Amino acid sequence: MVLPNAYIAFLHSLLRRICLIGGGKGACQVSVIACDCQSLVRVLIVVLLIPLGQAAAQEAKQTTQQLVEREFRKLLELDDKIHDEVDEWIRDNAKLAEKKASTDPAFLKSQVRQRLKKVDVAYEAFLKRYSGHVRALLAYGSFFSDINEIDKAQAQWEKALEAAPNNPVVWNNLGKAYGKKGQISEAFRHFEKAGELAPQQPLYHRNLATLIFSYPDKAARYYLIDRANAVIKSLELFKKARALDPENFPLATDAAMAQLGVQPFDAKAALVAWNNALNLAPDERSREGVRIHLARIHAHQGQADAARAQLDKVREIEFDELKAEILKTLNTRSAKP
């Protein structure tokens, strides 16, 4: 920034007046002070320029960040728009398949790939300009994950981890990638780290709990505990997640499902868990799905009346087979002398 000549002259005049205030004992003294004023002018100009320069730099930085954010939002909008289009193509083709008039699967797949390529290219271009943009790296990885290209997804998330090693979302996403690739120990490690970085986020505890429940033997080896304690660890993590998000129905059903893996089976705890899920069910279909589980537990315990009471409230066609299976078990037991 360059100051106008008139402004510089004003500073000279101001400083000379300041210098003269303390003089008054002769021209020699005033002359010396006047000479010093030349240096003071330079110092004052520098002092004035520093904050002005800092303010200008800060303003420029904020403007750049706003432009990058606007561009990133447009990128996400493009991603969502094209994914919605592709989903609609797939739904429409499924309807046509019912009428035996669907598009050839290979051709549809080719069309989908071609359409998604536009999103791929857009992410590449954005990250070429802003290579350390963590949210873009996360979103690009999710783009690949959605189309089941896990290695490419992981590559983007690894870059995000390098840029933001304390971001729990990155650790969680990498945990999912390792889980899909069958590298369960690495999945344990990454989900656990995500939970440590964001202990108030129920999703990370839920993901780790689900993985432990799904692979109790591998969890036992990883944590150096026996299988029974691995299941208990899973239940503890579900409990922690539910305490943080008590109104979450899918989380409640996951926690209830984990109770079915306890050995020896704890019917009372399982019934409590499934009834908790029942109270959170958002619609009748969900409630009926929970009632199937409750009926099965009651039947297992020999509580035929309680099991039938649950089944009487199940009317959805999709549950007919499960309902018939439980009723058959109840009828077989009641027919025994």
pLDDT of residue 41: 57
- Structural domain boundaries enclosing 294: 281-337
**pLDDT at 36 exceeding the cut of 80:** no
pLDDT of residue 288: 97
Residues 259 and 285 in one domain: no
CATH of the domain at 208: 1.25.40.10
Spatial contact of 42 and 12, defined as CB atoms under 8 Å apart: no
Spatial contact of 227 and 217, defined as CB atoms under 8 Å apart: yes
Spatial contact of 301 and 330, defined as CB atoms under 8 Å apart: no
User: What 3-state class would DSSP assign to 281?
Assistant: coil
> Can you tell me the distance from the alpha carbon of 314 to that of 289, in angstroms, rounded to the nearest whole number?
8
Residue type, 204: Y
pLDDT of residue 150: 97
pLDDT of residue 57: 55
Mean pLDDT of the chain: 87
Residues 298 and 257 in one domain: no
Q: Which of 22-26, 78-82, 126-130, 222-226 has the lowest mean pLDDT?
A: 22-26
Q: What is the arithmetic mean of pLDDT over 308-317?
A: 96
Residues 191, 193, 194, 200, Cα dihedral to 10°? 110
pLDDT of residue 42: 64
Q: How far is CA 64 from CA 43, 57, 59, 194, in A?
A: 32, 11, 9, 31
Q: Could you please report the per-residue DSSP string of 141-165?
A: HHHHHHTT-HHHHHHHHHHHHHH-T
Residues 240 and 173 in one domain: yes
pLDDT of residue 336: 61
Residues 250 and 316 in one domain: no
Query: How does pLDDT run across 266-304, given as a tens digit for each residue?
Result: 999 999 999 999 999 999 999 999 999 999 999 999 999
Query: How does pLDDT run across 162-206, given as a tens digit for each residue?
Result: 999 999 999 999 999 999 999 999 999 999 999 999 999 999 999
**Residues of the chain by 3-state class (helix, strand, coil), percent to 5:** 80, 0, 20
High-pLDDT (> 70) share of the chain, %: 80
pLDDT of residue 25: 47
Q: How many domains does the chain have?
A: 2
> Can you tell me the distance from the alpha carbon of 116 to that of 130, in angstroms, rounded to the nearest whole number?
21
- Going by C-alpha positions, the residue among 288, 335, 324, 330 that lies closest to residue 305 is 330
pLDDT of residue 97: 79
> Can you tell me the distance from the alpha carbon of 78 to that of 122, in angstroms, rounded to the nearest whole number?
9
Residues 192 and 249 in one domain: yes
Query: How does pLDDT run across 137-150, given as a tens digit for each residue?
Result: 999 999 999 999 99
Residues 299 and 252 in one domain: no
Residues 290 and 325 in one domain: yes
pTM of the entire predicted model: 0.77
Residues 181 and 232 in one domain: yes
